[in-house]
Amino acid sequence: MLGFVQRVVENLNVGENKDRVSVVQYSRNPEAHFLLNTYPEKQSVLSSIRSLKHKGGRPLNTGAALQYVKDNVFTSSSGSRGQEGVPQILILLSGGRSQDDVGGAAVALKQDRIVPFCIGTRNADILELQIIARFPSYALSVPWFDDLESIEQQLLSLVKRVPRQPRVYQRTVVDKTESKQRDVVFLLDGSDETLNGFEAMRDFVQRVVEKLTVEENKDRVSVVQYSREPEAQFYLNTYTTKEDVVEAVRGLRHKGGRPLNTGAALQYARDNVFVASSGSRRQEGIPQILVLLSGGRSNDDVRNAVTNLKEIGVMAIVVGMRNADILELQTISYEPSYAFSATRYNDLPNIQQQVVSAVERVEMTATNLPTTLIGKTTIISYAVVGQFNNSTLLTSDIQMVDGVDVVFLLDGSDKMRESVQSIRDFLGQFVEHLEIGPDKTHVAVIQYSDKPTTNFLLNTYSSKSDIMAQVRNINIEGGRSLNTGEALDFVKNNIFTASSGSRLQEGIPQILILLSGEKSQDDVLVPSESLKAAGIVLLTVGVKDADRAEMQNIAYSPNQAYILREFSDLSLVRQQLLSAIVSHKDAARPGLGE
C-alpha cells in the first residue's frame, strides 16, 4: 500500500501553489500522519510516506474515518483550498468491509464537493466502495495488495479528469426564492407486504414534506402508490400549500395488492407525473426528484424505466425496507449514495435527515438535465459539467459508436440452441450501431460452455458487411457445463492482446459484453477482477437462469449488469449497452491528459 501511495505521489506536481498531499491511516480510529499544509515539497512528502508504520487495530470503521477527513483534513486550517475552488480528492485504500455505516459520511463528503476514489483489495466490499465513490466507475478493486500497481495508470487517469479550478456554484441570476424550487414525487410501495409498515412510511413522507418549502412557485409535491399497478394519490399541481399536502399525506390509505411491479411504477411516474400537465416544471429546468420507498424486490424489470427517467433528468432517491433488494435500489437510485436502507419500518426516522440532505443536494446537481432544457437560472460550474459527462443521460442521443474494441462473450451451452435466432438478431442490431473500420471500431465474438471457442477475432474482419454476414450465421457450439471464469481468463489472455487485434496499448477503450443464460460452474470473481485491473470494461447481460449477483459481480459496476426474463427481450437492453460504452470511452482509455 505504501509503495502504491508513493508511486501515485511521484506522478503529482507537489508544491505550495500546486498539488498538496495528506495521508490518514485508520482502523477503529483515524489518525492523520500529515496534513495538506505540512509539507510543501514532493521529496518531503515521499520521505514521510516511506517512514510510515502500520497502525494496527480493529474493527475497521471506514465511516468514522471518512467523517474525520471531512471535518479535520479538508479544512482551511489543515491546508485545504476547497473554498478557493481547488479540486478536493480523497483516495481510499481498503482491505475489508467497514463495521460502521459509510452512507452518511459519503453523502457529507460529496455535499462538500469532495471527490472520493476507492480502491479495494482482499475482503473489501465493492458495493460499499461504490457507495462511497463519487461515481461507481471511481471504485476500483484488485484481488491482492501486490496487484495495486496494475491500476495505478487507471487511477491517475481518473484523477486527472477531475476538473481543475472549478468555479464555486453560483447562479447567473441570483434569486433566493428560485433556489428552493423542486418537483418532488414520492413513490410508495403499497403492496400487501407493506401493510404493517404503511403508517411508518406515511409518517416518514409527512416529516420530509414538512422540511420542504411547499408553494406554487417553490417546492411541489406528488404522491404515487403502487403494487401490481400504480395509482397517483395527488399530482404536483393538485395542492399549492404545505398544509394541504400534509393533510393529504395523513389521509393516505394502504393500497394493497400483489405482485410488486416497481418497473411499471417508475415508468408510470415518468409518463404521467413528471409531465407539464401534472405540474412538472422540468421544461423550465426545475430539479425533478423521485423518492421511492420500497419494501421488497420488484417482480418486473426496472432497468428500462430507470434509463427512461434518467433521460429526462429525474434524480431518484431510494429507501429500502424489510425485503428490498439493495442492489436493485442502487440500480434505481441516481447514484449509490442516494440509496438508503432501514432494517425495520420503525427505523425510518433514523434516515430521515439523510434523505432530506439528499433532496437538498440534488438542487446542486440539477443541471444534469440536457442543455436544451436548462433555463436562465441554472447552476453553472465545471463540476456540474463533469457530472453530466459521467451520467447516463446520453442514451436518447446515441446514434453510432466509434473508436472502441468490442468483444462479445456468448454462452454457447446446449440450453442456448433454442434461442440462437434471438442472439443473432441482438448481435446484428448491435453491430448496426457501430462504426466499423480499421481505424474505427473492431469486433470479436467468442463462445464458451465448458471450454471457450473463437468465432472471429478483433482483427479478422474490418468491414461491417463481413461482420454482419458472420453474426447472421452464428451457430451455438454446444456443451453441458458453463465455465464463465475460464472463459473470462481466455479472453484476457488470448483476445485482448495485440496479436488478436486489441488496441489496448494504443489507448483504445476495451469493452467486453458477456451474455449468459445460467450460473457459472467455476469461480468468476478473480478473472473478472483481473480484467478490470487491465482496464477492460465488462458489461453483462443475464437471461433466464443466469445468477443476478454473479452478473453484477462480473460487471464493471452492478448497475451495468442487465437482467432479462427471455432471450426475446434482448433488444430492450441494446440502447443501454450502447450508452454504457459511450459513457466509458474516456474512463477506459489509459493515459488521458487533463
| pLDDT at residue number 398 | 38
pLDDT digits (tens, 9 = 90+) for 31-61: 999 999 999 999 999 999 999 999 999 899 9
386 phi and psi, to 5 degrees?
Answer: -60, -40
Amino acid, single-letter form, for residue 134: R
Alpha-carbon dihedral sign for residues 30, 122, 138, 155? positive
Phi, psi angle pair for 197, to nearest 5°: -105, 5
Q: Lowest-pLDDT range, 198-202, 303-307, 437-441, 536-540?
A: 303-307
Question: What CA–CA distance (Å, rounded) separates 268 from 226?
Answer: 10
d(CA 146, CA 122): 10
Whether the pLDDT of residue 323 is over 70: the answer is: yes
Cell of 255: 393500497
Letter for the amino acid at 72? N
Answer yes or no: pTM beyond 0.75: no
Q: How many other β-carbons are positioned within 10 Å of the β-carbon of residue 58?
A: 9
Mean pLDDT, to the nearest integer, of 8-22? 91
Type of residue numbered 298? S
The region that residue 340 occupies, defined by phi over 0 for left and psi between -120 and 50 for alpha, beta otherwise, is beta
Instruction: Identify the three-state secondary structure at position 202.
Output: helix
When mean pLDDT is compared across 121-130, 255-264, 505-514, the lowest value belongs to 121-130
Q: Whole-angstrom Cα distance, residue 155 to residue 435? A: 29
Comparing 136 with 487, the larger pLDDT belongs to 487
Strand ranges of the sheet holding 288-294, from the earlier edge strand across to the other edge: 230-234, 220-226, 183-189, 288-294, 314-321, 339-342
Q: Which CATH number fits domain 398-584: 2.70.70.10, 3.40.50.410, 3.40.50.2300, 3.30.499.10?
A: 3.40.50.410
Q: Are 61 and 31 in contact (CB under 8 A)?
A: no
The pLDDT of residue 592 is above 90: no
Mean pLDDT across the stretch 496-502?
94
Q: Which residues of 338-363 are buried (b: 16+ CB within 10 A; e: fewer)?
A: bbbbbeebeebeebbebbbbbbebbb
Is the model's pLDDT at 183 over the cut of 90?
A: yes
CA atoms within 13 A on the CB side of 381: 22
> Is a pLDDT exceeding 60 seen at residue 588?
no
What the block records as the C-alpha cell of 99 is: 463495521
- Give the residue ranges of DSSP H helices in 494-557: 525-533, 548-554
Q: 54-58, 374-378, 424-428, 562-566: which has the minimum mean pLDDT?
A: 374-378
Smallest CA-to-CA distance from 396 within 315, 313, 334, 311 is with: 311
For the chain, helix (H) and strand (E) counts, in that order, are: 19, 19
pLDDT in tens, 330-385: 778 877 668 888 878 888 888 888 888 888 876 543 333 333 332 322 222 222 22
Looking at residue 175, what is its pLDDT?
38
Q: By the 8 A CB rule, do 457 and 501 touch? A: yes
Q: What is the pLDDT of residue 579?
A: 74
| pLDDT for 514 | 97
Same fold, 178-389 and 398-584: yes
Selected residue with higher pLDDT from 384 and 260: 260
CATH class of 178-389: alpha beta
With cut-offs at 50, 70 and 90, classify the pLDDT of residue 251: very high
Give Cα separations from 580 to 220, 326, 338, 392 (angstroms): 33, 21, 20, 7
Question: Beta-carbon neighbour count of residue 16 at 10 Å?
Answer: 11
Is residue 282 a contact partner of residue 184, using CB atoms and an 8 Å limit? Answer: no
pLDDT score of 391 more than 70? no
pLDDT at 210 over 70: yes
- Whether 407 and 444 have beta carbons less than 8 Å apart is answered as yes
Asked if pLDDT for residue 388 goes beyond 50, the answer is no
Q: Which three cell numbers stand for residue 541?
A: 447481460
Longest C-alpha distance within the chain, in Å? 69
Round the CA-based radius of gyration of the chain to a whole number and report it: 24
Tell me, what's the pLDDT at 336?
A: 65
Domain boundaries, the chain: 2-161, 178-389, 398-584
pLDDT recorded at residue 164: 52
Q: Could you tell me if 55 and 95 are in contact, meaning their C-beta atoms sit under 8 angstroms apart?
A: no
Give the full edge-to-edge strand order of the sheet including 114-121: 88-94, 114-121, 139-142
Mean pLDDT taken over the chain: 83
Prior bond to 349 cis, omega within 30?
A: no
Distance (Å) of CA 523 to CA 85, 91, 354, 480, 529: 46, 29, 37, 17, 11
Q: How far is residue 413 CA from its own chain's centroid? A: 31
Distances (CA, A) of 162 to 141, 305, 386, 424: 20, 30, 7, 40
pLDDT per residue as tens digits for the range 86-101: 899 999 999 999 998 8
Percent of the chain whose predicted confidence (pLDDT) is above 90: 48
Residue 179: its pLDDT value, please?
46
Residues comprising the chain, all counted:
594
Query: Does the domain made of 2-161 have the CATH classification 3.40.50.410?
Result: yes
Task: Please tell me which residue, 445 or 422, carries the higher pLDDT value.
Answer: 445
- Is 206 a residue whose pLDDT tops 70? yes
The grid coordinates listed for 116 are 472520493
Which residue, chain included where needed, has cell 484476457?
492
Q: Kindly report which listed range (154-158, 336-340, 455-459) carries the lowest average pLDDT score.
A: 336-340
For 237-242, the CB contacts below 8 A with 24+ separation are: 237/278, 237/279, 238/279, 239/214, 240/214, 240/215, 240/216, 241/214, 241/215, 242/209, 242/210, 242/212, 242/213, 242/214, 242/215
**Mean pLDDT of the 415-440 span:** 90
CA distance 389 to 134: 13
